[in-house]
Amino acid sequence: MSGQRRKLSTLLVAAALAGPPAAAAMPMAPGGSSLVRILVFGYRAHDGLRRLAVVVLPRWYGPHRDPPLPLVVSPHGRGVDAMDNATDWRGLPGRGPFALVSPDGQGRRIERFSWGDPGQIDDLARMPRLVRRAFPWLRLDGRVYAVGESMGGQETLLLVARHPRLLAGAAAFDAPTSMRLRYRDFRLLRDGSRLQRLARFEIGGSPRNSPRLYAERSPLDLARRIAFSGVPLELWWSTRDRVVVDQDDQSGLLYRLIERLNPRAPVARFVGTWPHTAELPTRLPLALERLGLLRRTRLV
């Protein structure tokens, strides 16, 4: 995020957490060539803490030009905040058009390392209602989608499993699907010991000592619910992912389980060789097109 955007982001966050929702227009693409309208509001998370959510709208949208829009709920990746996650979407909400909400979220103990905490998933399901409450003039057309990358993809899949009636479609990019395997593989990363300590603190123990707690954060353990959710689902993963290091046993295994459990499940897979989440700028428009949120685009 540029210094100008970061400064405006800080001002908006402070304003929203201190009082009523705040709004501004800011560039969401290099050079400022694409402008969208940015709004922020504070909400109470599942544990009562005050958290922030960022809403992105087309630049032209407002109280006097307000056609109903679909809403995309986008949980962020590990260690990322709501504003940085929203910035990754650049001008796409204006191209849709659609509304985007990106919440900071809250785990059981940790803010940016929620790792699919059940309370966080319930907070994601509340986002359409919270957006309407914060901005009564914003009209939503009833269609809600979930799209996330990495940890945000994990939470997208858990939202499909736990709140299927909410969603008209979902896409998960480079998502871990087994929190037990994720904990083990943290040791392969540069800061792996720290991540394992954070996971034990956030989840409530190690996989050996607390298997049930890891299962409830693992889409693989909820594969049957996902398979019979009826939610159109896109799974994107890379065979060369060096962050979620064994995707064949993460997103790949989830895809195979869904197909085995329900051959008619509306699930599609997209497999490549990109670095972790590096496909997002070019693949996200295609994913949104398949969900019906963008007109036809050309993948470059």
Q: What digits encode the pLDDT tens for the residues 238-288?
A: 999 999 999 999 999 999 999 999 999 999 999 999 999 887 888 999 999
What's the pLDDT at 12?
57
At residue 54, the 3 state secondary structure works out as strand
> What CATH number should be reported for the domain whose range is 3-290?
3.40.50.1820
Q: Where are the domains of the chain?
A: 3-290
- If you average pLDDT over residues 19-43, what whole number do you get? 66
DSSP 84-100: HHHHTTTTHHHHTT-EE
Of the CA atoms within 13 Å of residue 279, those in its CB half-sphere come to 26
At residue 121, the 3 state secondary structure works out as helix
Percent of the chain residues topping a pLDDT of 70: 87
What's the pLDDT at 7?
46
Question: Residue 8 is encoded by which pair of tokens?
Answer: 């405006």
Query: pLDDT tens digit string along 208-220?
Result: 999 999 999 999 9
Residue type at position 169? G
Query: pLDDT tens digit string along 72-106?
Result: 999 999 999 999 999 999 899 999 999 999 999 99
pTM of the model: 0.90
How many Å apart are CA 45 and CA 123, to the nearest integer? 6
- Total residue length of the chain: 300
What's the pLDDT at 279?
75
Contact call for residues 133 and 101 (beta carbons, < 8 A): no
How many Å apart are CA 10 and CA 73, to the nearest integer? 22
